[in-house]
Structure 1
Amino acid sequence: MWNNHHALDLLSKILFVLVAVTVLCGISLQLIRPPFFPIKEINIQIVHGEGGINARLQNVSHAQIEKLVRNEIAGNFISVNLTAVREAFVKLPWVRDARVYREWPHGLNVMLEEHHALAYWGSHALVNTYGEVFRVTADVNLPVFIGPNEASAYEVTQQYRRFNQILMPLQQHIAQVMLTQRYAWRIQLNTGTVLELGRNEIEERLIRYVSVYNHSIARLNQQHSLAYVDLRYPNGFAIRVPETMQQEPHKSVARRET
Structure 2
Amino acid sequence: MAVRKVVAPLLLLTGLVWAAGYGVKRIPIKYVRTEGVFQYLSKDEIKTALEPLVMISFFDADMQAIHQAVSKLTWVDTVSVKRVWPDAIDIKIREKKPYVRWGVQSLVSARGEIITPKNIEQFSNLPILQGPEQQQLKTLEIMKGVNTALADQSMKMAEFTINDRWAWKIKLTTGLEILLGRNEQLKKLQRFLKTLEVLGPEQVDKIAIVDLRYPNGYAVSWKPDAEEIDWKKVANPQHEIDG
Pick aligned residue for 2:67 from 62, 66, 86: 86
Cα contact 1:188–1:195 (8 A) shared by 2: yes
**Does 1:40 pair with 2:30?**
yes
Deviation, 1:90, is: 2.2
Deviation, 1:108, is: 1.6
Pick aligned residue for 1:30 from 10, 22, 27: 22
Deviation, 1:33, is: 4.5
Deviation, 1:199, is: 2.1
194 and 39 in structure 1: CA distance in 2 versus 1, 3 angstrom threshold: same
Cα contact 2:169–2:181 (8 A) shared by 1: yes
217 and 178 in structure 1: CA distance in 2 versus 1, 3 angstrom threshold: farther
Deviation, 1:27, is: 6.7
TM superposition score normalised by structure 1 = 0.74
Pick aligned residue for 2:126 from 127, 137, 142: 142
- What pairs with 1:34-113 in structure 2 (closer than 5 Å)? 34=26, 36=27, 38-46=28-36, 56-113=37-94
Gaps of 5+ in 1: 1-21, 47-55, 246-250
TM superposition score normalised by structure 2 = 0.78
**2:225 aligns to what SS in structure 1?**
helix
32 and 133 in structure 1: CA distance in 2 versus 1, 3 angstrom threshold: farther
143 and 211 in structure 1: CA distance in 2 versus 1, 3 angstrom threshold: same
1:165 paired residue number: 148
> Between Structure 1 and Structure 2, how many residues are aligned?
219
- What pairs with 1:168-183 in structure 2 (closer than 5 Å)? 168-183=151-166
Cα contact 1:32–1:79 (8 A) shared by 2: no
219 and 257 in structure 1: CA distance in 2 versus 1, 3 angstrom threshold: farther
2:193 paired residue number: 210
Cα contact 1:32–1:76 (8 A) shared by 2: no
Pick aligned residue for 1:123 from 87, 98, 104: 104
Cα contact 1:120–1:127 (8 A) shared by 2: yes
Q: Please give the alpha-carbon distance, in whole angstroms, between the structure 1 residues aligned to 2:19 and 2:215.
A: 81
Gaps of 5+ in 2: 1-13, 232-239
Q: Please give the alpha-carbon distance, in whole angstroms, between the structure 2 residues aligned to 1:190 and 1:169.
A: 15
1:242 paired residue number: 223
Deviation, 1:221, is: 3.6
Say what the alpha-carbon RMSD is for the aligned residues: 2.9
